[in-house]
Structure 1
Amino acid sequence: MSKDIYTSVHLTLFKHSSESFLAALDEAKIPHEPIRMFSTTPQGSGLVESIIALSEAMPWNAIAKVVIAWIDARKSREVIIHTEAGDSIQAKGYSASEIQKLLQISTNVIVIDTKPVNES
């Protein structure tokens, strides 16, 4: 039995965020996988992705930098980090080191862009 400890970041991408945010992760060479959700009841519409790695190999700093750069690129973008304590924190205005710490205690990260990529 392996004693390796895995950790993950769950991303829920809404509106027009999926294409641009996933491209930013790809550009930063951060591997991610879709999570297929099945339910017999209606669910919120959003694409769910997961970043999974061995705890010591999780690229926390790289993910934090992607979050900040992605938000700063357009005013229509927002990232909300939900923590284990039940807090919801809007990532706009936080530093990379602060985002990195929040990601480590996150239960879900909501990624939203309210405008299509081709609209300014």
Structure 2
Amino acid sequence: MTTQAPQSQQRGILMTDAALQHVLQLREKQGKDLCLRVGVRQGGCSGMSYMMDFEDPNNIQPTDEVFDYDGFKVVCDPKSMLYLYGLVLDYSDAMIGGGFQFTNPNANQTCGCGKSFS
């Protein structure tokens, strides 16, 4: 008999506690109830670059993947999800190399800045 994790535990985009706390702080400064849209676009040092921005929850499309973090929604379009499934989003406040970090199991190659991949 195999046991699967509850559906709420399975997320295509994972956020560490540090990343979630930082995103929630940034959202609070916006003064609105916003979700986080994560995706990819052509460009960057290695061919594809990550994109991440706040968005009004009313803009969530029926085809979007939505991941709930205790009421905070992380949204990704289906085309980007092909490249991002299993992505871990982390945040570091280190003086050198700090900021958001993307660990993408689908990336064959990443650039030195860590913001693009192929």
TM-score of the superposition, structure 2-length normalised? Answer: 0.29
Identify, as 1 or 2, the structure richer in helix: 1
Q: Which structure has more RCO (C-alpha within 8 Å, separation ≥ 6)?
A: 1
TM-score of the superposition, structure 1-length normalised? Answer: 0.28
